[in-house]
A and B are shown apart, each in its own frame.
Chain A
Amino acid sequence: MSAPRTPRGAARGTQESATARLSRLLTMVPWLLGHPGVDIERAAGQFGVTRDQLESDLALLFVCGTPGHLPDDLIEAEWEDGKVFLGNADAISRPLRLTVDEALTLMVGLRALAASPGVTGTPGSDGVLGALAKLEQATGEAAGLAARVRVALDDGATQATLTDASRAVQEHRRLRLRYQSFARDALTVRDVDPMRVLNLEAHWYLEGWCHRAEEVRLFRLDRIQTLEILDEDGTPPERATPRDLAGATYQASPDDIVVDLLTEAPAAWVGDYYPVDSVEELDEGRRRVRLRAADPSWVRRLAWRLGGQIEILGPAWLAQQVREGAVGALAAYPSVVVPEPEQP
């Protein structure tokens, strides 16, 4: 049962460089030596390549070996019946040390997890610190660099909330949340079937099927006031699919309102802080920012709190709401009325 060898089947989308392939082979050889007779599809899956590519890798290994390159010097490779056997590859029977970048990813990742112990279990009993110590020893020099790159996942979400949410995900238990919505300034109680606990842009979120909204929602853990693990099955309904989080947490929807803002220099951070469509630099540090909002109430609040450092250029009705809200709020202070400027 072998697929016809077409160039399309063998190609890996983009052209792989000779050194990238060498790297893979140097990792593949020890893995195959440690898994004699492994299924060829599993081996291909392990290295993220097609079966055809794996076969062509094996064919290449088959003609390499120690100087002399007589049959006894060459690597032995067999893959009849879909089972892979490798031999006579003593020189490269151990994987190469981790590169600086490779060591950095794991160590920085582990350190970040160490600072959020709620994720992996109770502090001290998880494997994060143990793994870190062993890796440090095995990587030597690269460990020094890894110490100079830090990631803070922590955002003030309590460890207890993180631990409970993670446990509910793993045990498929329904949760009852008292949740503070930021955009709407409201406290709600929701029953949620948990799907994932994730960290995005340094905030922890619980993703789950919200029975109140009847759809998949993301809840920021630091806005969960109380979290109760219910004695009920929390398997989400089948139509609940995790959101694609390749972009931002904020999912643009066709119903979103497009808001144009002018920010003065002290409020330039607005264009960096929120997911924006565009930022245009103007003179004197001003910027013209276009962003999308599902619910315009947070834009109104931003305009009030920044007191004139941002101007809503459009839509006009939103600018009007900002004005009316400010006038209404000022009505509470009749003794300190600040008159509106005269119209020109």
Chain B
Amino acid sequence: MTPQPAAAAKTERLLNLVIALLSTRRPLTKTQLRTAVPQYHQTASDEAFDRMFERDKDELRELGIPLVTALVAAAYDDELGYRIDRREYQLPEISFEPREVAALALAGRVWSHASLAAPARAALAKLAAAGVELDDSSLVGIEPRVRTTEPSFDAVRRAVAERREVTFGYRRADGQAATRRLQPWGMTQWRGRWYVTGLDHDRGAERVFRLGRIDGAVRAVGERAAYEIPEGHIPKVAVSTSVPAFVDQPPAVLRLRTGAGNTLRRRARTVGEVDDTWVQIDVDYRNIDSLAQEVAGFGPDVVVEAPDTLRDAVVRLLAAARDRHTGVAAHPGGMP
């Protein structure tokens, strides 16, 4: 008695089929398989058997079972035969040292909160079935986690694996939206966000797309294995690696309220007490705009003494923030 008789019968049929195909040296024809697997034997018609066998073959291949076909000499004509090569089917002999086992268990845990949690568990179960004794207690308390919260993650991963072109709606950082067409090459997670790299069909050039900016469904177009991926392609987010070296310029001079501006103070070249309320620091910088943003973020707790260009940039930011939050409720009674 099983709760799902139909599903149970199908599992039984597939298992018998796998065992039959693994146990034979010579490829088995469909006629032979219909005799070899009891559930096929019981099918009502040739058509019903054909349909069932075709579906079963596809499902076994989807599980990663290497089912091969070969021509076999039959009574009247050559016929297709089927078998599974044990060497291709079996996980090769593999053994790990205790330290490696600990690393594997940890690598599996990386995915425990992601859409790939099930395959990660299945992979470790297969290693255990191959005789690897996984010890769950090692490296306890260490939890690297990868999340795959982007709705498009699975569709993109499939496309990368299948080398299949996709189209999707994409919203750029500046808010512009458009439909894009991409040959996906690889994926990378960087700073907690997933990106897909590949050949942008419309621009004819390599591009990186952030999965979180994909709007709606990712549709596969075209065939599987439709293109080659450049050898040695490493998916990475093209960040501004062109960080200029420190230019030969005087450091910025800032006044910090005691206890405030700690991220600046950590980088300071020199720190000097001014009085009980203020300290003065010298800090080197590369980019005046990003330093201005950082300083402005501290509001009244950090003051620019030099250079003037930095001071002006900070004043612009603060004045804009002030003006943006001015007088919303200042004119009751409608339009003047």
Give the B-binding residues of A (Cβ under 8 A). Answer: 5, 7, 10-11, 15-19, 21-23, 25-31, 34, 46-48, 56, 59-61, 63-67, 69, 91-92, 94-110, 112-113, 116, 119-121, 125-128, 130-131, 134-135, 137-138, 145, 147-153, 155, 166, 169-170, 180, 185-187, 194-203, 225, 245-246, 265-266, 268-269, 272, 281, 284-287, 300-312, 316, 319-320, 322-323, 325-333, 336, 338, 340-341, 343-344
Chain B hits for A281, CB < 8 A: 175
Residue from A29, A166, A336, A343 in contact with B311 in the complex, judged by beta carbons closer than 8 Å: A336
Are A112 and B144 neighbours in the complex by a CB distance under 8 Å? yes
Given known contacts A102-B119, A104-B119, A92 and B19 CB-to-CB distance under 8 angstroms: yes
Chain B hits for A98, CB < 8 A: 64, 91, 123, 126
B266 to chain A, nearest CB (A): 7
Residue of B nearest to A12 (CB): B3
- Would you call B259 an interface residue if the criterion is a C-beta within 8 Å of the partner chain's C-beta atoms? yes
Give the contact-size bracket for chain B: 35 or more
Given known contacts A19-B14, A60-B12, A312-B325, A330 and B318 CB-to-CB distance under 8 angstroms: yes
Residue of A nearest to B175 (CB): A285
Query: 0/1 per residue, B292-336, Cβ < 8 Å to A?
Result: 011011111101100000011001111111111111111100001
Residue from A30, A65, A102 in contact with B120 in the complex, judged by beta carbons closer than 8 Å: A102
- Would you call B188 an interface residue if the criterion is a C-beta within 8 Å of the partner chain's C-beta atoms? yes
B65 to chain A, nearest CB (A): 6
Are B297 and A301 neighbours in the complex by a CB distance under 8 Å? yes
Chain B hits for A46, CB < 8 A: 125, 128
- Would you call B68 an interface residue if the criterion is a C-beta within 8 Å of the partner chain's C-beta atoms? no
- Would you call B174 an interface residue if the criterion is a C-beta within 8 Å of the partner chain's C-beta atoms? yes
14 contacts between A and B (CB under 8 A): A19-B11, A21-B7, A21-B11, A98-B91, A109-B111, A109-B144, A130-B97, A149-B235, A151-B110, A180-B262, A195-B141, A199-B144, A311-B324, A330-B315
Residue of A22, A46, A166 with most partner-chain B CB within 10 A: A22
Chain B hits for A308, CB < 8 A: 317, 320-321, 323-324
Are A304 and B23 neighbours in the complex by a CB distance under 8 Å? no
A266 to B317, CA, bound (A): 14
Chain A hits for B38, CB < 8 A: 69
A178 to chain B, nearest CB (A): 11
Query: 0/1 per residue, B268-279, Cβ < 8 Å to A?
Result: 000000000000
Residue from A28, A131, A300 in contact with B96 in the complex, judged by beta carbons closer than 8 Å: A131
Are B119 and A340 neighbours in the complex by a CB distance under 8 Å? no
Given known contacts A99-B119, A149-B188, A323 and B63 CB-to-CB distance under 8 angstroms: no
Chain A hits for B297, CB < 8 A: 301-302, 304-305
Residue of A nearest to B319 (CB): A338
Are B22 and A102 neighbours in the complex by a CB distance under 8 Å? no
A205 to B280, CA, bound (A): 32
Residue from B88, B121, B161, B236 in contact with A145 in the complex, judged by beta carbons closer than 8 Å: B161
Nearest first, the 5 closest Cβ-Cβ pairs linking A and B are A285-B175, A201-B192, A308-B320, A109-B107, A307-B317
Residue from A96, A266, A287, A327 in contact with B91 in the complex, judged by beta carbons closer than 8 Å: A96
A306 to B316, CA, bound (A): 10
A245 to B143, CA, bound (A): 11
Are A305 and B91 neighbours in the complex by a CB distance under 8 Å? no
Chain B hits for A199, CB < 8 A: 143-145
Residue of A nearest to B130 (CB): A95
Are B317 and A328 neighbours in the complex by a CB distance under 8 Å? no
Residue of A nearest to B35 (CB): A67
Chain B hits for A151, CB < 8 A: 110, 146, 188-189
- Would you call B15 an interface residue if the criterion is a C-beta within 8 Å of the partner chain's C-beta atoms? yes
Given known contacts A145-B161, A272-B213, A64 and B12 CB-to-CB distance under 8 angstroms: yes
Are B37 and A67 neighbours in the complex by a CB distance under 8 Å? yes
Among the 9-residue stretches B74-82, B98-106, B240-248, the one with 4 or more Cβ atoms under 8 Å from chain A is: B98-106
- Would you call B212 an interface residue if the criterion is a C-beta within 8 Å of the partner chain's C-beta atoms? yes
A17 to B10, CA, bound (A): 9
A207 to chain B, nearest CB (A): 9
- Would you call B207 an interface residue if the criterion is a C-beta within 8 Å of the partner chain's C-beta atoms? no
Are A113 and B107 neighbours in the complex by a CB distance under 8 Å? yes
